[in-house]
Amino acid sequence: MALLPVADIIYSVRTLSAAKSRTLLTMLGIIIGVMSVVAVASVGQSAQDLVLGEVQAVGANRISIFPGGSQENTPPPIVMGIVSTTLTERDYRAIRDLPHVVVGSPIVTSVASLTYKEKSFMVQVWGVGEEFPALQDARIASGRFFSRSDVESYGHLAVLGSKAATDLFGDEDPVNKTIRLKDAAFQVVGVLQERGSSIGQGQDSQIFIPVTTAQKLILGITYINAASVKVDASNHVTQAIDDIKYTLRRRHHITDPAKDDFSVRSADTAIGILDSITTVINVFLLVVTAISLVVGGINIMNIMYVAVRERTREVGLRKALGARSRRIFLQFLAESSMISLSGGLIGLALGAAIAYGITLVAVQYGLDWSFSLSVPAIAAALSVSTVIGLVFGVAPAMAAARLDAIRALRYE
Amino acid sequence: MPPLIRLEHLVKEYSDSEQPVLALDGVDLTIEAGDFVAIMGPSGCGKSTLMHLLGFLLSPSSGKYFLEGKDASSLTDDERADIRNRRIGFVFQSFNLLPRTSVLDNVLLPVEYMPDADRAAARKRALELLKLVKLSHRLNANPNQLSGGEQQRAAIARALINRPALILADEPTGNLDSKTSDEVMDLLSELHHEGHTIVMVTHEEEIAARAHRTIRMKDGRIVSS
Ligand SMILES: Nc1ncnc2c1ncn2[C@@H]1O[C@H](COP(=O)(O)OP(=O)(O)O)[C@@H](O)[C@H]1O
Ligand SMILES: [Mg+2]
């Protein structure tokens, strides 16, 4: 006997299409389930690609060093708002002198009141080194960035982000104007080009001053909040990280790496963390939608039980004409799988349409969003829906196969 | 040569309900190949039960059933399904054609359950049988487009598709008016003359009169044959 008898399938198709709205209702759970699985999987993948893409764009070959020790895969303490004082500008200089390190900057961040003429407001002030534009791939729109000697001499110089410049000066040229930061006069020496926002930070509204000046004048501290460097090639990142750790341990007289008072992170570790977070979210969403698939399966099972009862005479007739129980079982099992697989196909189409619609919207909003519908996701959606039809079709099909031919023929 | 069917003291008790029912109480019966037998008797006397036993839809509680001399009293479900498929042709009172399925496909339905069937030959035979029952013009009609008489003729064609040794018809004219009853009886008579063995249950004397012999039953026993 063929595993899928053609005549049975044709009969099932006719029976199912004779009661279209009921068949659709039977499929509804599966349609919604597969639709959500496909949409969630696709959108989740696109979002993950987007976030990781941004991180990679910003962070290629970049290593960041933070004060305070931490585990490899947890954020450094500074992220939690814990202030550590164990990293200094001299530590940064030692790191900067390591082989493979091509550019870098120490970073301290603060918020200070800024005054120009009658205008006064709070701005983000970043104390950075002279290489900061090269580190961040930032371009100078006008004027210049401050130099190493400006940093060493505690220069009262400021470079404005593009938005900070227009907010403060409008159409005026800010270069050589004097502004007041925390009541000290600073000379504006340059303006940065607009950079757009990289993940979560409007970098265009910031004001940059020499790190030494920020430490002494604005914050009154001797440590730095972070240091960031780039290495010459991605295959040197691991070597550079080891060198940095070695250098800092020597400088901080640390012999046991478990007692490190600093944390070193590269884009790779950041990507690893982000990757695991987004994967967890995706898995969670998939589990939730998989539950709706099970509900869809139970729905199919119930309606197949009703169908078996309604078609009792048909089963009796088929048995009288020589159908073995196993054949009746396969007929109804094939029918529930067909319902489920068709529902899966409809759900797949709808889910893909939703994901595509979201792509169109995201692109409208200027996101670098790409539509992704992986072959494994499609295969999973379709095989899961077939399996659900099989699993939840077993009990009704067994009930059909067990029907007594005579009773079934007498059934009205 | 052994008779087509020999029943020896066949007993059927329905024991699954609260009160066991003795539907057949020791039936002895011989049916020769080519016979045309009518079974008569009051309602509930066990006619249908006897037909179901003859047609391998039921197993006897005790007694022996010999089909062509071979003991067929205790067979597995699958063995009985295969005998129904190859050796028996059923004609029901309520026709029992599959809905949404053409007359031709209905006639071919038993072939579906024959794994080694020659499909092309079966199709050719179905067309011949539909010619015999005068339905050649309705091959692709659905059952609900046919009259009762036409439906029963299609059902008879279906019963003949696997060249059965025995045709069982339980009140085949029970749902038909007298004119179409006559048509169906003409057809069964014709089949009898062609050599088919037919066992038929009926309530009407004039229908029974068209058979070769009549068996009368009462309370699960044969009272005259
Ligand atoms: N499946 C069954 N379970 C229990 N009793 C049954 C069953 N089928 C028939 N009977 C009983 O067996 C007796 C014979 O029934 P049946 O063979 O249908 O008679 P007839 O066809 O002559 O009217 C009746 O009393 C009927 O109620
Ligand atoms: Mg009866």
Is the pLDDT at B20 greater than 80? The verdict is: yes
Q: Give the residue on B whose Cα is nearest the Cα of A311.
A: B98
pLDDT at B158: 98
pLDDT at A200: 43
Domain boundaries, chain A: 6-54+278-410, 85-260
User: Across the interface, do A7 and B112 touch by the CB < 8 Å criterion?
Assistant: yes
Q: Which two tokens stand for residue A171?
A: 């159409």
Ligand 1 pocket mutation, candidates B25, B48, B201, B203, criterion most atoms within 8 A of CB:
B48
Q: Which helix (H) or strand (E) holds A394?
A: helix A375-402
Flag the least confident range among A102-116, A196-210, B82-96, B119-133.
A196-210
Nearest neighbour of A324 by CB, restricted to B55, B58, B81: B81
Could you read off the pLDDT of A313-344 as tens digits, one per residue? 999 999 999 999 999 999 999 999 999 999 99
Regions in chain A scoring below 50 on pLDDT: 1-2, 199-200
Burial of A386 (0-12, 13-18, 19+ CB in 10 A): middle
Q: Which two tokens stand for residue A117?
A: 């003429």
Task: Give the separation between CA A95 and CA A412, rounded to whole angstroms.
Answer: 89
Q: Which two tokens stand for residue A149?
A: 């000697």
pLDDT at A2: 47
Q: Which two tokens stand for residue A11?
A: 């009969």
Q: Which two tokens stand for residue A51?
A: 């976030």
Task: Return the axis-axis angle of helices A6-18 and A20-59, rounded to nearest 10°.
Answer: 100
pLDDT at A74: 66
Is the pLDDT at B91 greater than 80? The verdict is: yes
Q: Which residues line ligand 1 (CB under 6 A)?
A: B 14, 17, 21, 23, 43-49
DSSP symbol at B98: P
pLDDT at A202: 62
Q: Which two tokens stand for residue B210?
A: 């068209």
Alpha carbon A358 to chain centroid, angstroms: 15
For residue A161, give the 3-state DSSP assignment.
Answer: coil
Instruction: Give the residue-averaged pLDDT of B171-188.
Output: 94
Task: Give the separation between CA B172 and CA B91, rounded to whole angstroms.
Answer: 6
Ligand 1 pocket mutation, candidates B10, B11, B13, B14, criterion most atoms within 8 A of CB:
B14
DSSP symbol at B117: -
Task: Give the separation between CA A145 and CA A159, rounded to whole angstroms.
Answer: 6
For the CA of B47, the nearest atom of ligand 1: 22
User: In this predicted model, which residue has the larger pLDDT, B16 or A157?
Assistant: A157
Is the pLDDT at B165 greater than 70? The verdict is: yes
Asked whether A36 and A384 are in contact (CB, 8 A), the reply is no
Residue A26, CA atoms < 13 Å, CB-side half-sphere: 27
Instruction: Give the residue-averaged pLDDT of B35-44.
Output: 97
pLDDT at A382: 87
